[in-house]
Chain A
Amino acid sequence: MPRNKQKQPLARKSAKKIIRRRVVRLLDAATRDSGAIRFGSGCGPAILRK
């Protein structure tokens, strides 16, 4: 019984909250971008950086 009680709050969490729990607020090494290249509408920030 105690075990079930512990799990209940997790089960009630909304999908949004579950997703939030999974967010790692660190950059992913495999997808880290230097920001060296922008194109199209992304050009604006690059111009400002100059």
Chain B
Amino acid sequence: MTETPRPNPAVTFHRAVPGCRAPMRADPSVLGTLPSRGFQYCEALRAASSFGWYAFPPIDFSLLWDGSEVIWTYRGAQAWYPLQSAQYPGFGRYFDRLAPRRLRGFAPPFLTSTWDPSLIQVWTGLFVQSAPDWSILVRPPANLQRHEGYHLYEGIVESDRWFGPLFTNLRLVKTDAPIHFSTELPLIQVQPLHRSAYTEEVSNSFGFTADLAGLPAEAWSRYEQNIVKPNLDPRPAGAYAASVRRRRKSGCPVHAG
């Protein structure tokens, strides 16, 4: 088997907006919001929750969509403003001070209203890049209660060759009610994804057994081992979690065991 290279680091974040919250490793307890039973015993939940990093809004801000246009405000602002395209407060000047002369005037916007006024592009205040052949999956934070006021899209970015702002797109769902975004809550979760994991070949090809009668003997044995035996002879709670953690400590989680 060819080993998947593990570059260190796989992903690098660059803070562009001064003082904005740095990304953090995604948390197995989802910032303390998971039920303690799931956190303690459900390795599947922990693994999905802690895979990757959280990125946060660079400032507290609010959006209000009335069904035809969006207005917005931010911490420290005295009013609501119609949203077309907006810079992070004061960022344009900051960018121009530090950017090479030829790039002055080209600061990325913080919020952009797109063709569809309910569709908003939000920049985290970070730039991102990844190691060769590694992409990033930008998605809502795993297992964090979704906000009912908006829907976040997911995207896979080839950030090894596309260097740029780490942003996301969201669709406003709720009208006539302010939707608040806080720097205390992650906006997105960024997960490293090796290009080989999502090639067309991988996604186009999958196995399927059409009938239980066709289940191979090896699968019956594994069903017995994983499901039946633990029910006949109850194992300690969290045995699966313990075995996964043991395997992880023994080496590469992809190739060990």
Contacts and interface: CB of A to CB of B under 8 A. Distances in A.
Contact of A40 (B78, B86, B92, B121): B121
A27 B114 CA distance: 18
Interface in B126-170: 155, 164-165, 167, 169
A31 interface: yes
Interface string A20-44: 0011111110111111111111101
Contacts of B64: 19
A45 interface: yes
Interface residues on B, range: 35 or more
B48 interface: no
B80 A22 contact: yes
Contact of A36 (B106, B112, B178): B106
A28 B77 contact: yes
Given A30-B90, A31-B88, A40-B121, A24 B80 contact: yes
B81 interface: yes
Given A36-B105, A37-B108, A45-B115, A27 B81 contact: yes
A10 to B, nearest CB: 18
